[in-house]
Structure 1
């Protein structure tokens, strides 16, 4: 195991210091005055919080000679030194493991993919550890310590306990993934739902920066949703908040693996679209790529399946907008490869089903490479590192 993995404590040992560092991380560089305004703290409190972070090398103060106030003292910009620490993020799918090594600003430095031969927790854990060791070796070459490991898995995940309660794609039940991985890697481990992890990355480093209330909706093998309410990612009492994939939009629709009928996922998930295209065209369609190719060729049954999927997604997003009124909904996921085939239906269905001013919600599409899911996992590790002493 790498000699550069570390259990060093983060010096922001109060909630205020954690908040200030997070603000600089996502919105910086900032002056102390800007920090005080955005954090709602006094200048003295900001100075007290910033000092140990600068001394420990996590923050750097730059003098901006051009930003000189009337009294003559230059305003100093405070920024995060991204190279001060490294983190590893791992996304586990049904077919492969994607791992990334990032800096403290969650910029991907190295990415690795490792195919899975099976979905049993024991070999998946072994493959995960193998991939983590590869990334730790990469970190050795950079001479910077790795401070944490984040793992993202689909399904119901108890982040506080580090347990995967139920992952339908992996067919896992009550797997103590954080404990098992920490024991074999020696790193602090954070395990979270993959969509929530992606939401953390968007909140701190992406299209959600500066927004108090927004949602991330992912389209692909499943239909997921991450929620940020009053600046906090919401997991809910049982870790399944935001499961719009299992909101019923057509009571007479197809059966869903969850046991209900007409869920968004049973209409708009990849497997559902493949099944609909096969039935409509009389062609044996084996995967989403083949279904998409038929739709692009103009095959009517295939195009109709995507149009129906768009309608279901739009109604699901409207449900989110009606329930908590986000400023923005970010639409992402591998399913965006087909976005041109159902974008109009998403917008029309959303407009029809959104109530009142909820219709003003900004729908923003954000195509992301699959490594971004692993980056989301790294973001949760960064989040845990920053907040470990503050909470």
Structure 2
């Protein structure tokens, strides 16, 4: 493993205009220069100035659009991102598994690796990440393209600017300087972010949030998370914890939460909370989500009640998000969607009851995404750093 000091390597001329043009072409391209100008509200001269250094470096290329050839004259010219120009590694760390992907500049996954977590100590996890990164660096050699950055996605309170995991409940980490540690062992420029925010970046660029200026991504599973995009910007807030709806207290008489409060959404609707509730209600020795799901699908009233309660909590939390921010769309994702048939109606009903006025017209949709997509989100944050985007 390399141990050289990571260089700061970014796309040439990372001006706001260049970043805007690059991301516009990345998420909506190929585009003509006129279309770029229209989408970015930049003048033709500003677009040309922004495009020139990016093309000189090979990150943007032009192709003739033969299908758009007018009856007279030359065919239109399309600008697109050359995805093969650079590679990035994205890593998603859960309490049980590390998922790593090798992605190109268009954030298309080329290779994926999974590794179980047997020891949650930061040093042990870092060693596992280091091994996976080395495997993917070897894979990158086969593509003949250099890896330009590493993105890490971790649950909890993550300070992206400082590169520190302040608190990750599922890993039991506190104040881990992850960027510094990972940079030292990999020799790569490293970006770290909250896992839900990282997934939100991928959805904003390439998924169900593409082209939408205001949306929320709510994730259900081990935790209940929320990524927010407001006026085209991913919101982290003054303290970096914006969107933590899992720790929105909605029931003062509810169960204790690992955060120290009582009746949080996560203490009612997180996987561990549902499993505990099913065990208490049924007396069955349920130890995992699969067992809880099986009982509920068999019609056990205690198990079904646990999912009903979870759906109500999630729906009320979504209603709160919609009332405060008024997004155009709410995307529900996460591994907890395996139980969606058990609490979909409760989510809808609780959301409708909680949303104020026309806020209830918000488009609420589900989008199952495997953990590889979360790792892809981590790669997207590395691409952001590479192209000099200020997203927060």
Q: Provide, for residues 51-100 of structure 1, a one-character-per-residue CA deviation record: whole Å limited to 9, x for no partner.
A: 22122111121111332357734221111111111000011111121100
Cα separation, 2, equivalents of 1:82 and 1:246: 39
Q: Deviations over 1:213-236 (max 9, x none)?
A: 101000000000000111111111
Q: Is the 8 A contact 1:163 1:176 kept in 2?
A: yes
- Structure 2 equivalent of residue 63 of structure 1: 64
CA distance in 1, matches of 2:173, 2:209: 31
User: In structure 1, how many angstroms separate the alpha carbons of the residues matched to 2:389 and 2:67?
Assistant: 37
Rounded to whole Å, the distance in 2 between the matches of 1:272 and 1:87 is: 36
Residue 33 of structure 2 aligns with which residue? Answer: 32
- Tell me what 1:234 maps to: 235
RMSD of aligned alpha carbons: 1.8
CA distance in 2, matches of 1:110, 1:2: 21
Q: Shift in Å at residue 325 of structure 1?
A: 0.3
- What secondary structure is seen at the aligned counterpart in 2 of 1:102? strand
Residue in 1 that maps onto 2:120: 119
- How many residues are treated as equivalent by the alignment? 390
Q: Would you say the 8 A contact 2:234–2:391 is kept in 1? A: no
Q: How does 1:1-391 map to 2 (within 5 A)?
A: 1=1, 8-69=9-70, 72-387=73-388
Evaluate the alpha carbon distance shift between residue 137 and residue 217 of structure 1 in structure 2; reply closer, same or farther with a 3 A threshold: same
CA change 1:194–1:390 in 2 (3 A) is: closer
SS of residue paired to 1:30? coil
Task: Note the C-alpha offset of 1:13.
Answer: 2.4
The 1:104–1:6 alpha-carbon spacing in structure 2 relative to 1, beyond 3 Å, is: farther
Map Cα deviations across residues 261-308 of structure 1 (whole Å, 9 max, x no partner).
Answer: 211101100000001100111111101111011111111111111111
| Corresponding residue SS for 1:258 | coil
The runs of at least 4 consecutive aligned structure 1 residues that moved more than 2 Å come to: 5-9, 68-74, 388-391
- With over 3 angstroms needed to count, the CA separation of the structure-2 counterparts of 1:82 and 1:247, relative to structure 1, is same
Q: Gapped runs of 5+ residues in structure 1?
A: none
Question: TM-score, normalization: structure 1?
Answer: 0.96
- Aligned residue for 1:147, secondary structure, equals strand
Tell me, yes or no, if the aligned pair for 1:103 and 1:109 is still in contact at 8 Å.
yes
Cα contact 1:12–1:389 (8 A) shared by 2: no
- Asked if the contact 2:19/2:389 (under 8 Å) is kept, the reply is no
| CA distance in structure 2 between the aligned counterparts of 1:46 and 1:71, rounded to whole angstroms | 25
What secondary structure is seen at the aligned counterpart in 2 of 1:367? coil
Partner SS state of residue 67, structure 2: coil
Q: Which runs of 5+ in 2 are unaligned?
A: none
2:98–2:117 CA contact under 8 A, matched in 1: yes
**How many Å apart are 1:389 and its aligned residue?**
9.8
SS at 2:107 equivalent: coil
**In structure 2, C-alpha distance between the alignment counterparts of 1:19 and 1:388, rounded to whole Å:** 8
TM-score (normalised: structure 2) = 0.96
| Partner Cα separation in structure 1 for residue 238 and residue 22 of structure 2 | 28
The Cα shift of 1:209 comes to 0.6
Q: What displacement does 1:142 show?
A: 1.0
Q: Secondary structure of the equivalent of 1:251?
A: coil
Does the CA-based 8 Å contact 2:149-2:382 persist in structure 1?
A: yes
- Within 2, Cα distance between the matches of 1:9 and 1:269? 39
Would you say the 8 A contact 2:151–2:380 is kept in 1?
yes
